[in-house]
C-alpha cells in the first residue's frame, strides 16, 4: 500500500476513544504492514500504572484500522504481541488480500467518524435486547464476555463501587493533578478531554444512579446553584443499560483483545443509533476492581464498564481533538 493509503487508515484508527484522550499510540507502516505500539510518553502513572486502560485504547485503534482497511477493500490479519522482546509492540496488521467491501464494511467504517463518547443523560427508550445479543456475539469473537448489569443486587454493588472509587479518586491530589493535566479548555486542542464534552453539572446532582467520571471536580464553585422550582415536575431518572466487559486472563493479550472487542461493540452500537460512555472509575483501583469480581461473582477480570443508550434529541457533545497523523505515523524500514 502507498504511504498515503496508510495515512488514511491511521487517521481512522486515531478516532479511537482512549482513556482521557491520551491517544497513547504510535504507528509504523511498510508496504503491506502496520505496526501499532504503546507510546509510554503519554502514560497515566496514577490512574493507570499498569497501562491496562492505555493498552485497551490501543486495541480499539487496532480494530478501527482493520475496519477502515476492510472498507477500502483490504483484507487484513492481526498478529498480537509479535515481538517477545518488546511488549509495547502490541500488534502487527498485515494486508493479505483485496476484496470488494460489503455494505456492512462501509457502514461500520462510516460509524468511526460519527462515534463520540456521550456523557449526557440518554433517552428512556430501552436498548433492544436483540442489539445487546448482537454486541455480546461481537465481543465473544475476541474472547471477551459482555454482561449487561441487570439484576438489582448487581446494580447496587456496581453503583456503590463506582461511587466509592470516585470518592477515593477525588481525595487523591496526585489523581486530581493528573486529571487536570488532561482536561482542555482550548477547543482546538489535539488531545485531552475538552471541558465542553463533559456535562457541566455535578455528576452527583443528576437524576441517575450511575455517576459519570467528574472531570472538572473542584472547579465548579462559580456555577451558582439554581434554586429549585417548587412547581417543576420531578426530573426524569435516567435508566441507561450498563454493560460489563471482561476477559478470562488479565495480561496484555487480554487487554488488546478487550480493546478490539470494544471497538466492534461501539461501532455496531453507533450504526444502530446507540451511544455510549465508559464508567471506568471502579476499574481504575485494584481494590474496587477486585471487589467487583467478588460482588458480581465474575469468572475472569472486568475490563470495561459501559453506559449505553439513545442520545437525547439535539445532544451533540463537543468533539474531542486528535493529534495529526504525521505526529503518530512513521515509515518502518521494510523487512
Ligand X SMILES: Cc1cc2nc3c(=O)[nH]c(=O)nc-3n(C[C@H](O)[C@H](O)[C@H](O)COP(=O)(O)O)c2cc1C
Distance CA 70, CA 245 (A): 25
Distance CA 52, CA 58 (A): 10
The one among 19, 70, 149, 216 contacting ligand X by CB under 6 A: 19
Strands (E), 172-269: 183-184, 193-194, 241-247
The one among 101, 280, 285, 301 contacting ligand X by CB under 6 A: 280
Smallest separation (angstroms) from ligand X to the CB of 195: 11
Distance CA 77, CA 90 (A): 14
Distance CA 274, CA 131 (A): 10
Looking only at residues 207 through 236 of this chain, which bind ligand X when binding is defined by CB under 6 A?
212-213
The one among 6, 10, 13, 20 contacting ligand X by CB under 6 A: 20
Of 35 and 284, nearer to ligand X (C-beta) is 284
Of 60 and 127, nearer to ligand X (C-beta) is 60
257 binds ligand X (CB under 6 A): no
Report CA-CA distances (Å) from 258 to 76, 114, 115, 141, 143. Answer: 19, 21, 18, 11, 8
Distance CA 63, CA 55 (A): 13
329-331/275-278 β-pairing: unpaired
Q: Report how many residues bind ligand X under the rule CB under 6 A.
A: 20
74 binds ligand X (CB under 6 A): no
270 binds ligand X (CB under 6 A): no
21 binds ligand X (CB under 6 A): yes
Window of 16-24, 173-181, 202-210, 239-247 that interacts with ligand X by CB under 6 A: 16-24
The one among 42, 74, 89, 119 contacting ligand X by CB under 6 A: 119
Of 95 and 118, nearer to ligand X (C-beta) is 118
Cell 495515512 found at? 7
Residue 30 dihedral angles phi and psi, to the nearest 5°:
-120, -170
Give CA 248 to chain center in angstroms.
20
The cell numbers describing 143, all together, are: 474472547
Cell 477502515 found at? 68
Window of 15-23, 137-145, 154-162, 241-249 that interacts with ligand X by CB under 6 A: 15-23
302: left (phi over 0), alpha (psi -120 to 50) or beta: beta
Of 19 and 157, nearer to ligand X (C-beta) is 19
Distance CA 46, CA 128 (A): 37
Of 117 and 257, nearer to ligand X (C-beta) is 117
121 binds ligand X (CB under 6 A): no
Of 4 and 188, nearer to ligand X (C-beta) is 188
The one among 9, 13, 28, 56 contacting ligand X by CB under 6 A: 56
Query: Closest residue (Cβ) to ligand X?
Result: 17
116 binds ligand X (CB under 6 A): yes
Residues that bind ligand X (CB under 6 A): 17-21, 53, 56-57, 116-117, 119, 193, 212-213, 277-281, 320
Amino acid at each position: 500500500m502507498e504511504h498515503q493509503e496508510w495515512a488514511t487508515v491511521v487517521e481512522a484508527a486515531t478516532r479511537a476513544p482512549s482513556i482521557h484522550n491520551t491517544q497513547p499510540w504510535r504507528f509504523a507502516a511498510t508496504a503491506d504492514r502496520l505496526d501499532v505500539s504503546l507510546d509510554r510518553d503519554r502514560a497515566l502513572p496514577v490512574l493507570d500504572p499498569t497501562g491496562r486502560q492505555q493498552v485497551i485504547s490501543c486495541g480499539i485503534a487496532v480494530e478501527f484500522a482493520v475496519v477502515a482497511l476492510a472498507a477500502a477493500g483490504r483484507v487484513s490479519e492481526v498478529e498480537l504481541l509479535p515481538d517477545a522482546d518488546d511488549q509495547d509492540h502490541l500488534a502487527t496488521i498485515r494486508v493479505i488480500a483485496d476484496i470488494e467491501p460489503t455494505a456492512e464494511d462501509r457502514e461500520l467504517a462510516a460509524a468511526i467518524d460519527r462515534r463520540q463518547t456521550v456523557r449526557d443523560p440518554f433517552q428512556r427508550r430501552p436498548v433492544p435486547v436483540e442489539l445487546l445479543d448482537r454486541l455480546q456475539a461481537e465481543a465473544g469473537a475476541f474472547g471477551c464476555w459482555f454482561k449487561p448489569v441487570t439484576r438489582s443486587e448487581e446494580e447496587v454493588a456496581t453503583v456503590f463501587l463506582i461511587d466509592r472509587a470516585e470518592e477515593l479518586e477525588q481525595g487523591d491530589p496526585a489523581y486530581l493533578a493528573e486529571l487536570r493535566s488532561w482536561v482542555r479548555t482550548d477547543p482546538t486542542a489535539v488531545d485531552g478531554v475538552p471541558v465542553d464534552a463533559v456535562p457541566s453539572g455535578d455528576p452527583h446532582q443528576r437524576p441517575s444512579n450511575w455517576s459519570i467520571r467528574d472531570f472538572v471536580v473542584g472547579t465548579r464553585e462559580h456555577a451558582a446553584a439554581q434554586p429549585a422550582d417548587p412547581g417543576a415536575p420531578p426530573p426524569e431518572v435516567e435508566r441507561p443499560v450498563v454493560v460489563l466487559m471482561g476477559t478470562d486472563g488479565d495480561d496484555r493479550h487480554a487487554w488488546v483483545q478487550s480493546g478490539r472487542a470494544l471497538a466492534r461493540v461501539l461501532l455496531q452500537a453507533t450504526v444502530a443509533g446507540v451511544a455510549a460512555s465508559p464508567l471506568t472509575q471502579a476499574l481504575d483501583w485494584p481494590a474496587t476492581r477486585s471487589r467487583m469480581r467478588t460482588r458480581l461473582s465474575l469468572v475472569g477480570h472486568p475490563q470495561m464498564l459501559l453506559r449505553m443508550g439513545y442520545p437525547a434529541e439535539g445532544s451533540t457533545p463537543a468533539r474531542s481533538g486528535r493529534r495529526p497523523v504525521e505526529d503518530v505515523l512513521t515509515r518502518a524500514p521494510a523487512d
